[in-house]
Every structure is written in C-alpha cells, then in structure tokens.
Amino acid sequence: MKWVIFRHGDKEKEGFDPALTEKGLQQSQKIIVKVKAGLLPKPSVIYVSTKKRAIQTLEPLALACGMKPIIKAELTERVPGESVDKFKFRIQEFLVKVMLLHKDNEVIYFCTHYDWIEEFLNVIESDSDLSRCTHWPSAQHMVFEKKELWSLIKYEGL
C-alpha cells in the first residue's frame, strides 16, 4: 500500500473556505503531469477534505483518471473546540479505517491541511526520520509505502 499525502494548492487569502488561486490551479495540473510521467504513482482512490481548496487540488487528477474524489471530514483541519487529543484520535482512527478498507497493492491519495499533516507525521509509524518534513508550502507532498513500518519514499513540492 502506498499513501500520497498532499497539502492543498495555493489558496486565496480571504474567506472562510477559500478557493485555489491561479497558481493553485496550475499546481493541480502539475499533479496530473507527474502521474502521467510516472513521477507519482497512479491513484487507486482519492480522498480530500471538505474544503474547496483540497477538493480543487485533486479533483482534476481524479477526473483525468476517471475517478471521483471522496470527500472526508476526517481530513479537515482541526476545528474550533476540538482538543489536540481529539484531533489526534480523529486522524489515527481515519488512517486505521483506510488501511482496513483498502488492499495492500492500492495507492491512496489524500489532500488535506498543514495542521493535519503535522499531526499525521507525529502519529504514523515510520522507519524514516520525519523530523526533516517541516516545510509545507502549498502543494507539498510525500509518498509513503507500507512495509513493516511506513517508509518515506518521496518528499517534494510542485
């Protein structure tokens, strides 16, 4: 099983649920190019948070692959009133569900938010040093492969 984790593309600065900027839309197109070139594995399934910017980041790839992104509230950033422990548990529970739901040969794409990714890096059981994964500009992504533990295969931006 492989997981490809994306931070959403560049977003507008204003609004409760801002859309992608023109740069963000270009970043979403670059994802398609990377998949077609074999620089990123082709997704088996695509999960996105409920926010426009996350949906817009991976929706073009989903359409290019003949898929529909699956919108999951569990991928949304920490919400007001949600304790750090509840947020962490939400992420852990979601990841366990994903592992149980999918086969070992599947490639799972996720598009989420900065704070979700930070917490994800704290909860994933990895054989890699994830302390270097602290820089998360828009459209930054990483690829993990499940072995005995999760191995970080790639960490880069678009």
Map out the domains of the chain with their CATH numbers: 2-156 (3.40.50.1240)
Buried b (16+ CB within 10 A) or exposed e, 71-110: ebebbbbbeeeeeeeebbebbeebbeebeeeeeeeebbbb
Beta bridge partners of 6: 111, 141
Q: What's the pLDDT tens digit per position in 37-62? A: 999 999 999 999 999 999 999 999 99
pLDDT in tens, 57-77: 999 999 999 999 999 999 999
pLDDT in the model for residue 19? 97
- Torsions phi, psi for 29 (to 5 deg): -70, -35
- Length of the chain (residues): 158
Q: Does residue 135 carry a pLDDT above 90?
A: no
> Which tens digit of pLDDT belongs to each residue from 89-100?
999 999 999 999
Residue 44's pLDDT is: 98
